[in-house]
Every structure is written in C-alpha cells, then in structure tokens.
Amino acid sequence: MQFLVENDWAVFIGLEVCALIFILAFMGARYLLSRRQLSNLLLGLFLLMMVLEGVLAFVVYQVTGEVSTFQVVVVLFLLYAVTFGVHDFKRLDYSARVRIGTWRNTTLVTEAETERMRALKDPKIVARKSRIWFYVHTIIFGGALIYFWNTYGASEYSWLYFIQNWDWFGDEDLTQPFTSELLSQVVRLWLIIYIVDSIINWSYTFFPNKVTEDESI
C-alpha cells in the first residue's frame, strides 16, 4: 500500500499507457487480424485499467486520509472516460474501420454508420450540440460554485469581491475564495477549462466548418 501512495502518479501514468496499448491492440486484433475473441480480451483489459485507476485513487485516499490533487485528476479522467470518452472511442473505432477496410480492400462499416457519421458532421448539428453542452456545463459549474461558496466560502470578503478582484487567481498567497486550499486549486483549474471549453463550443456557431459533398468521413 505504501508503495502505491509513494508512487501514485507513476502507477497512474503506467495504467494510462497500458490502457492506450490495449485499445490500439483491440482494434488491430478485431479489424486487421479478425480475432474477435482476442479483441474482446483486450477490450476487457482496457476496462480493467480504468477500474484499477479508480481503485488506486481509493487506496491512496484510504492510506492518506485526505483528498488530494491526485484523486481529483483521476476522477476527472474517469468522468471523461464514461462520458465524452465513449463518443470519442466510437469515432476512433469508426475511423479505424474505414482505414483498415481500405487497406484490406473490404468494407468494415455499414451504409447506416456512414450516413450517421456524415449527419453528425453537419455544421448545424455540431453547433447545436456544442451550444447545448455549453449550457449544461455552465449550469453544472454555476451550481457547483454556489454550493462551494455556501459550504467553504471565505468569511473575510463577499463573493462579489472575488469577481471584481482577480489577484487571488494568480497569487496563492492572497486570500482565496474558499477555505479549502485543494478546493481553490480545483476551482482555478475548472475555471480555465470552462473558459477554453466555452470558446471552443461557441466557435462552432460563429465559425462553422464548411463540409463539401465529397469530403471524407
């Protein structure tokens, strides 16, 4: 147990590397070698790596007795894996089948899948989904901030002070919005992610991609 605590980041990175290797091997086994049983085993090993990451974060918490940046990062990775990661995996899987099918001079995707992927790339659909995600992200972020402030808000100043004065963001020695140092770091990181995510999401509305009829899926 002590080894895991002392080398938590190294073990986590090792699990991530193994997960990447297993998912790439899964695609190779299924679509290049046509070994379905082997590919299922590799997919299972990939999922096992995700489970082990969660177990690792829990073990470190049990030993140290406190929530650290490590647990926050692991949870964020796992949340991505079960949300956006599923969508990204489907797109990666589709692209791999298209390319491998071309190499093998065969068809590994159906017409329905091709039409569905083409529809998903429609600029209007992409822009609408991006705006919806922006609204959802804003509600979640705003709700979390309200809860954090009511629970861990600094008593020296009001919340309006921290909105008008952003010196705290770049100087951790100044009074932070929250009494928990870890929570202040999480909110600081989340705010950066929220701003970048918002810019990207709205870019699809103001600067939509132009798709031609013969564009490759």
Q: Whole-angstrom Cα distance, residue 51 to residue 36? A: 23
DSSP letter assigned to residue 209: P
Which residue type does 156 have?
A: E
Q: How many CA atoms lie within 13 A of 211 on its CB side?
A: 16
Task: Map residue 212 onto helix, strand or coil.
Answer: coil
Q: Can you tell me the mean pLDDT for 188-199?
A: 90
Q: Can you tell me the mean pLDDT for 197-215?
A: 77
Q: Give the pLDDT confidence score for residue 211 in this predicted structure.
A: 56
Res. 116: pLDDT tops 90: no
Which residue type does 55 have?
A: V
Minimum mean pLDDT among 35-49, 82-96, 127-141, 177-191: which range?
Answer: 82-96
Q: Whole-angstrom Cα distance, residue 167 to residue 175? A: 9
Q: Can you tell me the mean pLDDT for 44-63?
A: 93
Which residue type does 58 have?
A: F
The model's pTM: 0.64
Q: How many CA atoms lie within 13 A of 107 on its CB side?
A: 6
Phi, psi of 139 (to 5 degrees): -65, -45
Q: Can you tell me the mean pLDDT for 160-184?
A: 87
